[in-house]
């Protein structure tokens, strides 16, 4: 079987041809954090952020973002996602966001899991930027990838 390449003979980028690969159940989990001031954490806990329920909106935004990954990252294949779960949880110093993405397909779903986390974190940033000028997004990582 010929090894797939994402660079053609003219040095141009292309999507990897996964047409010959078998469909498999694929799962990926990702995680990221946003550090917030204690006052911001309290406002989120009390649902006092002007834009609304930060954690719920972030979770929904993360799901939506994960589903649109192939529209955002040029060489990602569109996947038939069977499950996309995003959880945003308050911690002592901010919010931890975790995602779970699952599909039946020919290529991995890790980019969707990572995109979901990033979009959820950016949503928290957007919703809290009026009250917290010191937010830091970080520690974004793939936790698990299976097929």
Active site residues: 126
Reduced to 3 DSSP states, what percent helix, strand and coil does the chain have, rounded to the nearest 5?
30, 35, 35
∠ CA 36-41-45, nearest 5°, is 155
Which residues touch 62 (CB under 8 Å, ≥6 apart)?
Answer: 86, 88, 97, 99, 116, 117, 119, 120, 123
DSSP E strand boundaries for 42-124: 81-91, 94-105
Three-state DSSP class for residue 63: helix
Distance, in Å, from the CA atom of 71 to the CA atom of 53, rounded to the nearest integer, reads 27
Phi-psi group of 53: left, alpha or beta (phi > 0 → left; psi -120 to 50 → alpha; rest → beta): beta
């Amino acid at each position: 079987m010929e090894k797939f390449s994402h660079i053609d003979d003219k040095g141009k980028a292309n999507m990897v041809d996964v047409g010959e690969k078998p469909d498999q159940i694929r799962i990926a989990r990702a995680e990221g954090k946003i550090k917030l001031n204690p006052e911001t954490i309290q406002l989120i806990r009390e649902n006092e952020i002007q834009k609304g329920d930060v954690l719920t909106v972030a979770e929904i935004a993360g799901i939506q973002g994960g589903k649109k990954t192939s529209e955002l990252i040029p060489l990602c294949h569109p996947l038939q996602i069977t499950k996309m779960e995003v959880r945003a949880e308050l911690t002592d110093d901010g919010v931890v966001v975790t995602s779970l993405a699952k599909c039946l397909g020919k290529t991995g779903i890790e980019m969707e899991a990572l995109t979901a986390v990033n979009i959820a974190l950016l949503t928290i940033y957007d919703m809290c930027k009026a009250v917290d000028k010191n937010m830091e997004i970080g520690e974004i990582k793939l936790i698990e990838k299976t097929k």
